[in-house]
């Protein structure tokens, strides 16, 4: 087997596994939420510190039932929480909510 010679063909040279791109990176992991509407709610809560659903609904011009459903979804995702156990207590961002919002901002800046 001495003297065997292997040549890199033009097709092989252009194969994606052979091309060593320094800028090639793995895709970013998916965020648990990504809609513009969710981001606008998180941004508004971040700006205000805390707010009731009706306050967010009025500022963002959301329908009442839609806003309620959206906040229930955000609660299940643990992105928002009530400040106290009272029924009419305002909502605020959780630590996870802040993290997701910051990642959404960072990814938008990369685009």
Tell me how far apart the alpha carbons of residues 63 and 37 are, in angstroms, rounded to a whole number.
Answer: 12
pLDDT score, position 47:
96
Residue 85 vs residues 2, 54, 60, 82: alpha-carbon distances, Å:
80, 18, 25, 7
What are φ and ψ of residue 57, in 5° steps? Answer: -60, -45
Tell me the pLDDT tens digit for each residue of 42-91: 999 999 999 999 999 999 998 888 999 999 999 999 999 999 888 889 99
pTM of the model: 0.74
How does DSSP classify residue 94? -
CATH class of 25-110: mainly alpha
Average of per-residue pLDDT across 98-104: 95
Tokens of 84: 């106290």
What are φ and ψ of residue 25, in 5° steps? Answer: -130, 165
- Give me the residue spans of the domains in the chain: 25-110
């Amino acid at each position: 087997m001495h003297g065997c010679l292997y040549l890199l063909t033009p097709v092989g040279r252009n194969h994606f596994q052979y091309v060593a791109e320094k800028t090639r990176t793995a895709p970013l992991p998916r965020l648990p939420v990504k809609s513009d509407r969710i981001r606008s709610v998180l941004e508004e809560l971040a700006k205000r510190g805390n707010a009731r659903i009706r306050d967010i609904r009025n500022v963002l011009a959301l329908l009442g039932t839609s806003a309620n459903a959206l906040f229930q979804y955000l609660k299940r995702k643990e992105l928002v929480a009530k400040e106290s156990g009272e029924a009419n207590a305002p909502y605020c961002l959780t630590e996870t909510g802040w993290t997701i919002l910051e990642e959404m901002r960072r990814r938008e800046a990369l685009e």
